[in-house]
């Protein structure tokens, strides 16, 4: 039958409000919910003038088969981009749960069981990252979302922030950025330590536009380059009183950025913001806690930008959309059995996806508590010595750290602290030496779950099945586990030009490729996308690995040249370009040398120009004084006669890495007064490369194997044969 439409003028105001509220409820169910404190509950419509007349509607479909076939081919299923639609008005919401029911994660079959339900159906109520906080505030309004220890001291009073308050601050931040006229193409850049205001900024900005993180430990010139590459519109940074060193770097840059409309400072005294800036807390207080912004219309809209790899030349900036952030956070909750009762330490910086997602959004999605452990997190010299006290006081259940954190904690005695609340530790960002892994578990009794991920996968792509009091899963020490739900991983063989040749066989080393709904759509500068994708929308990670018969992945090295020092990514070109500026240097190449503490240390090889007078020590000093990032300063520089090159004249870094491994082992054995007869590094079909060390006695072999276990390279120690009894210096060294 025909429907008669009435104009607003012909209807009572209450009727119009009711009809509009009903319509917006149909279109934006997750965003508009009637609860105390919400403008919709009071007026029948939440800022109705700002909402668009229509909403994007997509069909819901499945992206995964009901089961996975055996072997490497199990990871080759195509996976479609998943729409995330709003629930129907009749779906309603369940009562606030104290526990989230999750299926076990023990092996690949458990993941396949999850994938029988379309991902879009699981996350139909979350189209954007803001929805995570809207839902959490409704389900757990009085639960503590964040406990903040400004100085990271376990004895200091914590600042607790409930989910209701967190949601309100995020809304105020979004309203603030919206009031400046920001839209989807604008960018809020934050340079902040680990403080609650960083979360207000991150998630509030994403409701309006893009948000971008900049590593605040970088030098000013690098910061300026990134700010320009990001087209920064608003800057949120630390006040002179909160972080004087950071402000000293940022302040001189502000006059050089004409596109920046406003700069907000966090942590300053009221009314004390320097000229040209505004106090962030005061600005938030002036905004309502009722949204004055429309819901994010498309889950594929870019939400966040993180710079990765190199910071010289044109920055490589990865773009993450709302879908990838929400999906990967849900995946992590499933893999870790995250519950509202969990307490998770955030010790990694909030300019890194680990801090933002693994110990951020994934925790908030589960109604758990994030413990902000001081402005500098694990970099705070007072935190690690008191870490076990922190665990005892707050009943911490898990934390995420890089191998250097776990190595440092090995030197911290428990001191009688009760750490029985800890379910497990999460390790990523760099490979964990098996010896460190085993020593940590033996000393603390804490299970470690090692995983693999990168900014390009939002955060996590694979992880070992969880293990502990709630679920029992099969961990394989040394592996990076199984792909997270709705994700496909495989290893592939590429030709010399990086083109796909074929899928690798079981236990055959190849380049790790990933396919899933949590991958980045690409880099901000499209030129950086060259080589990023393989046929079928598979992400080329650049990492070498193998997949065993049960679907577990084992990393064997990196095809790319990135150096990872304690979880910190270093572009070798930063070192190479610095050394190349020295007048005596002809060629320079930087690689990572295995290190027991940092995982890798940057080292450099150079060839000199004719008539050069500089030696290795002089070049090392030159590099250390001129490199733009402290972590990139080479541990040593070695002068060689001839640089190894490929047939087309490119520097052949695998040969240099082998040389660095040999040097690292010799230094390790020399420091222990362990006489080694010979060391040789060679290619290996299973481990990528293997170091062979020869000794005179079996006792020396056993001692050497124990020492070498602290490195990430595979080492085999054997008795020396007569033919190996030589300790010659590698040719071409001086």
**CATH number of the domain residue 501 falls in:** 3.40.50.12780
147 neighbors 394 (Cβ within 8 angstroms): yes
Q: Residue 675 belongs to what domain range? A: 654-724
Phi and psi at residue 606, in whole multiples of 5°? -135, 150
Return the minimum-mean-pLDDT range out of 193-207, 327-341, 425-439, 536-550.
425-439
- Residue 73 falls within a domain, yes or no? no
Kind of pairing between the strands at 488-494 and 500-503: antiparallel
pLDDT computed for residue 156 by the predictor: 93
Cα 296 from Cα 608, distance rounded (Å): 57
Q: Is 375 found in the same domain as 336?
A: yes
Q: Give pLDDT tens digits for 226-275.
A: 999 999 999 999 999 999 999 999 999 999 999 999 999 999 866 677 88
Q: Is 597 found in the same domain as 717?
A: no
Q: Is 451 found in the same domain as 415?
A: yes
Cα 579 from Cα 585, distance rounded (Å): 7
CB within 8 Å of 656: residues ≥ 6 apart? 589, 591, 605, 644
Q: Is 314 found in the same domain as 303?
A: yes
Q: Is 525 found in the same domain as 642?
A: no
Q: Is 577 found in the same domain as 641?
A: yes
CATH number of domain containing 681: 3.30.300.30
Residue that is last in its domain, among 621, 651, 681: 651
Q: Is 661 found in the same domain as 642?
A: no
Q: What angle is formed at CA 453 by the lines to CA 447 and CA 457, rounded to 5 degrees?
A: 145
Structural domain count, the chain: 4
pLDDT computed for residue 88 by the predictor: 30
Q: Give pLDDT tens digits for 460-515.
A: 999 998 854 444 568 888 899 999 999 999 999 998 788 999 999 999 989 999 99
pLDDT computed for residue 268 by the predictor: 80
Q: Is 613 found in the same domain as 524?
A: no
Which has the higher per-residue pLDDT, 176 or 609? 176
Q: Is 594 found in the same domain as 638?
A: yes
Which has the higher per-residue pLDDT, 14 or 668? 668
Residue 442 host element (H or E)? helix 434-444
Question: HEC profile for 636-678?
Answer: CEEEECCCCECCCCCECHHHHHHHHHHHHHHHHHHHCCCCCCE
- Residue 4 falls within a domain, yes or no? no
Name the band, by pLDDT with cuts 50, 70 and 90, for residue 327. Answer: very high
CA end-to-end distance (rounded Å), the chain: 93
And the tokens for 281? 């807390």
Cα 502 from Cα 487, distance rounded (Å): 20
- Residue 490 falls within a domain, yes or no? yes
Q: Coil, strand or helix: which one is 375?
A: coil
Which has the higher per-residue pLDDT, 435 or 437? 437
Q: Is 139 found in the same domain as 238?
A: yes
- Residue 453 falls within a domain, yes or no? yes
- Residue 671 falls within a domain, yes or no? yes
Return the minimum-mean-pLDDT range out of 134-143, 556-565, 580-589.
556-565
Phi and psi at residue 332, in whole multiples of 5°? -65, -40
- Residue 578 falls within a domain, yes or no? yes
- Residue 101 falls within a domain, yes or no? no
Q: Is 349 found in the same domain as 216?
A: yes
Question: HEC profile for 116-139?
Answer: CCCHHHHCCCCCCHHHHHHHHHHH
Residue that is last in its domain, among 485, 520, 547: 547
Which has the higher per-residue pLDDT, 379 or 248? 248
Residue 554 host element (H or E)? strand 553-558
Q: Is 611 found in the same domain as 707?
A: no
Residue that is last in its domain, among 605, 631, 651: 651
- Residue 47 falls within a domain, yes or no? yes
């Amino acid at each position: 039958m025909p429907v008669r439409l009435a104009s607003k003028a012909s209807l009572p105001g209450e009727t119009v409000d009711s009809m509009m509220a009903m319509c917006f409820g149909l279109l934006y169910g997750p965003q508009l919910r009637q609860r105390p404190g919400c403008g919709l509950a009071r007026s029948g419509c939440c800022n109705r003038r700002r909402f668009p007349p229509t909403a994007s509607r997509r069909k819901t479909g499945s992206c995964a088969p009901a089961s996975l076939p055996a072997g490497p081919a199990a990871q080759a299923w195509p996976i479609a981009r998943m729409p995330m639609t709003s629930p129907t008005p009749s779906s309603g919401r369940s009562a606030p749960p104290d526990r989230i029911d999750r299926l076990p994660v023990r092996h690949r079959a458990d993941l396949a069981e999850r994938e029988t339900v379309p991902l879009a159906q699981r996350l139909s109520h979350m189209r954007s990252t803001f929805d995570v906080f809207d839902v959490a505030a409704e389900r757990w309004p009085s639960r503590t979302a964040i406990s903040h220890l400004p100085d990271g001291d376990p004895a200091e009073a914590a600042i607790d922030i409930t989910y209701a308050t967190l949601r309100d601050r995020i809304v105020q931040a979004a309203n603030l950025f919206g009031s400046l006229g920001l839209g989807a193409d604008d960018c809020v850049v934050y340079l902040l330590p680990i403080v609650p205001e960083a979360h207000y900024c991150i998630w509030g900005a994403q409701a309006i536009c893009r948000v971008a993180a900049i590593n605040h430990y970088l030098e000013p010139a690098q910061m300026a380059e990134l700010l320009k590459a990001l087209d920064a519109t608003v800057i949120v940074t630390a006040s002179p009183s909160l972080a004087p060193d950071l402000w000293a770097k940022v302040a001189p840059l502000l006059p050089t950025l004409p596109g920046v409309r406003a700069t907000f400072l966090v942590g300053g005294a009221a009314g004390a913001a320097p000229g040209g800036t505004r106090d962030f807390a005061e600005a938030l207080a002036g905004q309502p806690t009722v949204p004055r912004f429309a819901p994010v219309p498309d889950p594929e809209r870019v939400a966040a930008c993180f710079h990765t790899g190199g910071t010289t030349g044109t920055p490589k900036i990865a773009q993450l959309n709302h879908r990838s952030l929400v999906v990967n956070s849900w995946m992590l909750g499933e893999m870790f059995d995250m519950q509202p009762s969990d307490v998770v330490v955030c010790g990694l910086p909030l300019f890194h996806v680990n801090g933002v997602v693994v110990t951020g959004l994934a925790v908030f999605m589960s109604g758990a508590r994030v413990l902000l452990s001081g402005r500098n997190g694990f970099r705070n010299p007072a935190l690690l010595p008191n870490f076990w006290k922190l665990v005892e006081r707050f009943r911490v259940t898990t934390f995420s750290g890089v191998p250097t954190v776990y190595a440092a904690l090995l030197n911290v005695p428990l001191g009688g602290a009760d750490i029985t609340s800890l379910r497990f530790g999460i390790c990523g960002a760099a490979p964990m030496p098996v010896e460190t892994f085993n020593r940590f578990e033996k000393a603390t009794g804490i299970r470690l779950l090692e995983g693999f991920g990168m900014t390009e996968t939002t955060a996590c792509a694979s992880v070992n099945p969880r293990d502990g009091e709630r679920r029992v899963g099969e961990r394989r020490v040394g592996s990076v586990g199984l792909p997270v739900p709705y994700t496909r991983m495989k290893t592939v063989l590429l030709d010399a030009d990086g083109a796909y040749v074929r899928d690798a066989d079981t236990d055959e080393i190849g380049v790790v490729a990933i396919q899933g709904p949590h991958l980045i759509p690409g880099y901000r500068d499209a030129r950086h996308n060259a080589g990023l994708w393989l046929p079928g929308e598979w992400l080329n990670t650049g990492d070498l690995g193998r997949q065993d018969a049960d679907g577990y992945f084992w990393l064997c090295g990196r095809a790319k040249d990135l150096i990872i020092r304690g979880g910190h990514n270093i572009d070798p070109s930063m070192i190479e370009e610095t050394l190349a500026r020295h007048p005596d240097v002809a060629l320079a190449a930087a690689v990572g040398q295995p290190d027991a503490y940092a995982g890798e240390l940057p080292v450099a090889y150079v060839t000199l120009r004719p008539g050069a007078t500089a030696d290795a020590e002089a070049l090392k000093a030159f590099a250390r004084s001129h490199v733009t990032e402290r972590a990139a300063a080479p541990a040593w520089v070695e002068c060689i006669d001839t640089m190894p090159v490929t047939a087309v004249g490119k520097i052949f870094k695998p040969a240099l890495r082998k040389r660095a491994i040999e040097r690292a082992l010799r230094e390790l054995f020399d420091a222990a007064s362990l006489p080694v007869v010979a060391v040789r590094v060679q290619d290996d079909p299973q481990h990528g490369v293997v170091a062979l060390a020869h000794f005179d006695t079996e006792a020396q072999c056993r001692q050497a194997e124990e020492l070498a276990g602290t490195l990430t390279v595979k080492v085999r120690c054997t008795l020396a044969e007569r033919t190996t009894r030589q300790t010659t210096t590698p040719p071409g060294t001086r």
